[in-house]
């Protein structure tokens, strides 16, 4: 066949639908520091979700965003495109205000557990779609799954019914229909060094929260060694970006900037974090966990039109505990059943008298993960009883030989690598070098 014949044959063949843009042009535009036009950005996300744009192309685009950043309008369009990739839920017919909370993640962050039932005490519905842990930050669902019988997977109808009932609060797995573009892109960012980019984090978090359909949202944006954002200036920029995205989409959104240099509370793991949450619900527990739970509850209830709600009283008089038990039972869990305990423990003691001057969140998170509390791959199981229980926190006085923390695992072979992660992660100094106590909530960001 001659070339002319082949060309004629190709022209006669029916053409498939033409793609509106070329991924390489879109990548080049961002690589060279340009602004990607709205239609091209929307196409890129849609074409990636459909599988037309490859993982390699999207990874390159994500790296270009990481290096060059994005303007606010681009971030808004990116967020819209991710929302448009899936379903949008609506709680409009619920007859109650809905308020959600999202934390950017940290070590020992179990706040959702006491917070959701506490806020529900005041007749507000809390749709808390949560995730599992990956790497050193824990996942709310992993923690709750250490409660015998508790079920993370609810249909949209079950979720709606639980929110409408007296229970009011629901913590469950986000369905696969919500922002599927983000699901795909987040997994890709996780393995291509492109997680810590403000446009990508903001659009990822806010696309899911806006698609979820909550009326209001409080963001707990963490800064410090155990957070995505190491310094408070970057955390502030992330918070402002997300507050703007939420507000522009009609979701009343505020953010608190909170300290994640030191693990939150005393428990890092899964079952032990549930235990600590129950202590908070009983009116006790570590001061920092109580302080942050109360601050976030006040913020959520204020957005729900109840700025004067007495949240302390609800923790102290048993109403929050009743609400927790109802929430756990509604999802087939037994709130009174014993939680898993570890087969092996290893206690680390103080080598000298002095004051604990430093305890770095990140190595403690990594050590808990190596003990089995977290997973390296999304399909790995977690060990519910694995983790770390701190006996002291920075600012406290210790004497030589006194326990500092206890490692728990099902296999004592895990202790060596956990201890390796903890080498240099804490310090005992003289009383004069004791750190000044700092409030956990540093700033409040509003629209
Ligand atoms: N959590 C998310 O959902 N997305 C991110 O990009 C980071 C944290």
Sequential pLDDT tens for the chain (447 residues): 554 564 466 456 555 568 999 999 999 999 999 999 999 999 999 999 999 999 999 999 999 999 999 999 999 999 999 999 999 999 999 999 999 999 998 999 999 999 999 999 999 999 999 888 766 777 899 999 999 999 999 999 999 999 999 999 999 998 878 999 999 998 899 889 998 899 999 999 999 999 999 999 999 999 999 998 999 999 999 999 999 999 999 999 999 999 999 999 999 999 999 999 999 999 999 999 999 999 999 999 999 999 999 999 999 999 999 999 999 999 999 999 999 999 999 999 999 999 999 999 999 999 999 999 988 777 788 999 999 999 999 999 999 999 999 999 999 999 999 999 999 999 999 988 888 888 999 999 999
Choosing from 205, 210, 221, 260 the residue with most ligand 1 atoms within 8 A of its CB, the one to mutate for a pocket test is 205
Is 205 near ligand 1, meaning CB less than 6 Å away? yes
Active-site positions? 102, 182, 189, 204, 208
DSSP type of residue 98: B
* Alpha-carbon distance values, 127 to 120, 122, 189 (Å): 10, 14, 26
Q: How far apart are CA 405 and CA 277, in angstroms?
A: 19
Cβ of 219 closer than 6 Å to ligand 1, yes or no, is: no
> How far is the centre of ligand 1, averaged over its atoms, from the C-alpha of 418 (Å)?
26
Q: Do 217 and 100 meet the contact criterion of CB atoms below 8 Å apart?
A: yes
Whether the CB of 409 sits within 6 Å of ligand 1: no
Full DSSP string of 205-253? HHHHHHHHT-SEEEEEEEESTTSSB-SHHHHHHHHHHHHHHHHHTT-EE
- Reading the block at residue 261, the tokens are 């240099």
The phi, psi pair for 397, rounded to 5°, reads -85, 140
* Spatial distance between the Cα atoms of 113 and 305, rounded to a whole number of angstroms: 22
Q: Is the CB of 98 under 6 A from ligand 1?
A: no
Distance 267 CA to ligand 1 centre (A): 23
Q: Helix or strand or coil: residue 443?
A: strand
With beta carbons less than 8 A apart as the criterion, state whether 197 and 185 touch: no
122 lines ligand 1 (CB under 6 A): no
**Cα 179 to middle of ligand 1, angstroms:** 12
Residue located nearest, by CA, to atom 6 of ligand 1? 201
Q: Which atom of ligand 1 is nearest to the CA of 205?
A: 3
CA distance 159 to 435: 45
Domains of the chain (ranges; CATH) run 92-177+195-337 (3.40.1030.10), 344-433 (3.90.1170.30)
Neighbouring C-beta atoms of residue 270, cutoff 10 Å: 32
User: 216 CB less than 6 Å from ligand 1?
Assistant: no
Ligand 1 atom at minimal distance to the Cα of residue 200: 6
Phi and psi dihedrals of 445, rounded to 5? -115, 125
Q: Does residue 312 sit in helix, strand or coil?
A: helix
Q: What pTM does this model have?
A: 0.93
Task: Tell me the Ramachandran region of residue 51: left when phi exceeds 0, alpha when psi lies from -120 to 50, beta otherwise.
Answer: left
| Tokens (6 digits) for 37 | 């036009």
HSE-CB for 88 with a 13 A CA cutoff = 14
């Amino acid at each position: 066949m001659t070339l002319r014949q082949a060309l004629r044959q190709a022209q006669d063949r029916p053409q498939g639908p033409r793609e509106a843009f070329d991924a390489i042009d879109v990548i080049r535009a961002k690589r060279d520091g340009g602004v990607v036009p709205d239609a091209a950005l929307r196409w890129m996300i849609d074409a990636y979700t459909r599988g037309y744009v490859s993982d390699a192309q999207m990874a390159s685009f994500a790296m270009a965003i990481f290096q060059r950043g994005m303007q606010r309008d681009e971030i808004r369009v990116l967020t819209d495109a991710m929302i448009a990739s899936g379903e949008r839920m609506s709680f409009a017919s619920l007859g109650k205000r809905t308020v959600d909370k999202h934390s950017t993640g940290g070590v020992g962050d179990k706040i959702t557990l006491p917070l959701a039932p506490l806020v529900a005490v005041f007749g507000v519905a809390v749709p808390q779609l949560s995730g599992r842990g990956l790497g050193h930050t824990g996942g709310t669902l992993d923690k709750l799954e250490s409660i015998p019988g508790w079920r993370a997977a609810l249909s949209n109808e079950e979720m709606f019914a639980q929110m409408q009932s007296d229970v009011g609060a629901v913590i469950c797995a986000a369905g696969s229909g919500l922002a599927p573009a983000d699901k795909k892109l987040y997994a890709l960012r996780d393995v291509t060094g492109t997680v810590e980019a403000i446009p990508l984090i903001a659009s990822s978090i806010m696309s899911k929260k806006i698609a979820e359909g909550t009326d209001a949202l409080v963001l707990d944006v963490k800064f410090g060694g155990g957070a995505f954002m190491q310094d408070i200036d970057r955390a502030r920029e992330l918070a402002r970006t997300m507050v703007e995205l939420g507000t522009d989409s009609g979701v009343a959104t505020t953010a608190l900037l909170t300290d994640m240099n030191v693990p939150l509370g005393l428990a890092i793991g899964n079952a032990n974090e549930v235990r600590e949450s129950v202590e908070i619900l009983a009116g006790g527990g570590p001061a920092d966990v109580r302080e942050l739970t109360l601050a976030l509850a006040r913020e959520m209830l204020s957005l729900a039109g109840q700025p004067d709600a007495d949240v302390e009283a609800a923790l102290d008089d048993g109403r929050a505990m009743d609400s927790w038990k109802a929430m756990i039972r509604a999802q087939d869990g037994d709130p009174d059943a014993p939680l898993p305990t570890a087969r092996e423990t290893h206690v680390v003691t103080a080598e000298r008298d002095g004051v604990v001057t430093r305890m770095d969140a990140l190595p403690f998170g990594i050590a808990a993960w190596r003990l089995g509390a977290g997973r390296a791959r999304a399909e790995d199981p977690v060990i519910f009883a694995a983790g770390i229980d701190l006996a002291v926190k920075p600012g406290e006085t210790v004497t030589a030989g006194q326990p500092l923390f206890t490692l728990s695992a099902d296999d004592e072979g895990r202790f060596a690598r956990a201890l390796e992660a903890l080498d240099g992660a804490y310090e005992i100094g003289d009383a004069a070098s004791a750190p000044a106590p700092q409030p956990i909530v540093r700033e409040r960001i509003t629209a």
